[in-house]
Structure 1
Amino acid sequence: MSAASLEIVDRWFAVEPVDERITRIIEPHVHEFVRGNIWQVRGSARDLVIDCGLGVAPLRDECPALFANDPVLVVTHAHLDHMGGAHEFDDRRAHAAEPMGDPRGASIRGAVLRDELGLDEELPDLLITARPAGFDPDAYRLRPAPATTRLVDGDAVDLGDRCLRVLHLPGHTPGSICLFDEASGTLFSGDVIYDDVLLDGLHESDRDDYATSLQRLRDLPVRVVHPGHGDSFDGVRLRELIDDYLAAA
């Protein structure tokens, strides 16, 4: 498929309020495999942005509210659908094991990405169904954006009136993390867990680590999960997903 055959759209992002403090931003013209969630959590002192999409279009142009309150960006892992817009943020945080300065898997051509990441499943030729004006899919590159702060397990992200704890949960990638708001039981899970088949067979995945991470997650008092892909779900569904994975491991 060529870029010339794609519809040109004026807006690339869709903004969906979740509650008075949380907003989800998605890229609706992206294939569901790489259609990641961008989460904004508003705080009294500053805001938190969790993951930042593919980088096909600038977030700052369409979503200026993301940058209005001194945002800290936390990247759950350095795959293209989670760190593509990281270069737009001044305060970028990720685990040291994630190659933010030399990211892998930097194509939106399905066959190329499949080989780069070590995927088993087939993907369409092109992973977008429309494009912003002037965007060339074959010129797409994932821009390096080294973390300005390297996170470790137990670190806190303080927003003033809300504090989230970093959980290092390797398996999907070596440096995959979640953020847990213990006061509300809210988990931002990245690709550690979501309501679909979990990817544990990538070049950099480790199934034993994944099982250990999920067992740890199962024991936490999680009430709601805001994942890296798809819709949110509750703690009951979280434990069902974990139990199903562990039973099949």
Structure 2
Amino acid sequence: MNNYPVVIDDAWFTVSQIDDETFVISEYGHWEKVHSYLLMGSSKAALIDTGLGIDQIKRMTDQLTDLPIVVLTTHVHADHIGSHGQFDRIYVHEAEEDWLVNGIQKLSIEQIRKDISRDITRLVPDTFDPKTYKPYQGQPTGLLQDGDVIELGDRSLKVYHTPGHSPGHIALFDSSRGYLFTGDLLYDETPIYAFYPTTDPVDLVNSLERISGLTGVSRIFGGHNTIGLEPELLQEVQAAVRQLRERDVVRHGTGIHRFKGFSVQF
């Protein structure tokens, strides 16, 4: 689950160190085992996603850096934007600006509250009440597009638009270290979801194919489960893409498809 040393073991958050300027902030007390990533450059820091919002992630980032922080949103699902309201500079892909501002249509607050509050194994703060929990909504500071580069000062992140799990999902590549941050496009242990009405199995497979062709990847950091997957997984992804297309199952309703190291659910 965690291959990196723990530097903060908080009541709710677990902070692990990937390198001197890269940290992962994990929420292991929730069934989704969500990870957010803090990357420091010489002039600013990037926080990739802000977690569930059950507790305030800024308590962790304040202990890790004094740099100004820009929040980069892999996608606008509740478990990745929970603490967005604690930061001044928030960026999202242009295809999900409306979701960030107005919420996801046809996704009921009752369902969100049910998902956010079930199977919790750690003590939650007094400020968390599942009966009144609401996903963050607000206007982003700016919009991201495919190919954008976020400069942190002696470190940069390239944006890859990787739709499928959601319309404006992005992956981010730190070429200076070979770190590929894949959000909910690629992780292990539990299926990658593309069965909701707001998902697109064809787009997901195309996005998986795209990132599988990236060169210079040293580690893959997903939004859930194991931290730091081996780059050889991308070869498995390439093979899986071929199999899914050959079997003609890239559409809603075909169920879970398992491969070596990951699975997808359509």
Q: What TM-score do the two structures reach when normalised by structure 2?
A: 0.78
Residues 34-70 of structure 1: per-residue CA shift (max 9 Å, x gap): x311101111111111000011112223441356200
1:229 aligns with 2:227: no
Alpha-carbon contact 1:60-1:67 (below 8 Å) kept: no
Q: 1:53 to 1:125 in 2, by over 3 A?
A: closer
Name 1:126's counterpart in structure 2.
118
**Any gaps of 5 or more consecutive residues in structure 2?**
1-9, 245-249, 251-266
Given the alignment of the two structures, is residue 217 of structure 1 paired with residue 211 of structure 2, yes or no?
A: yes
Tell me if structure 1 keeps the 8 A contact 2:149–2:157: yes
Coordinate RMSD, CA, aligned: 2.3
Asked if the contact 2:101–2:139 (Cα under 8 Å) also holds between the matched residues in 1, the reply is yes
Moved more, 217-226 or 58-67: 58-67
Runs of 4+ in 1 over 6 A off after TM superposition: none
| Counterpart for residue 5 of structure 1 | none
Deviations 1:152-172 (A, max 9, x none): 000011010011100001111
Q: Which runs of 5+ in 1 are unaligned?
A: 1-9, 116-122
1:155 maps to what in 2? 148
Deviates more, 1:177-186 or 1:61-70: 61-70
Is 1:238 aligned to residue 234 of structure 2?
yes
Identity across the alignment (%) = 33
CA contact (8 A) 1:38 1:228 kept: yes
SS in 2 for 1:37: strand
Asked if 2 retains the 8 angstrom alpha-carbon contact of 1:106 and 1:142, the reply is no
Change (3 A) 1:81 1:19: same
2:158 pairs, out of 154, 162, 165, with: 165
| Counterparts of residues 179-198 of structure 1 (less than 5 Å) | 179-196=172-189, 197-198=191-192
Of 95-104 and 55-64, more deviation after overlay is shown by 55-64
Which residue pairs with 2:4 in the alignment? none
TM-score (norm 1): 0.83
Amino acid aligned to 1:20 = D
How many residue pairs get aligned? The number is 228
Inter-partner Cα distance in structure 1 for 2:214 and 2:66: 33
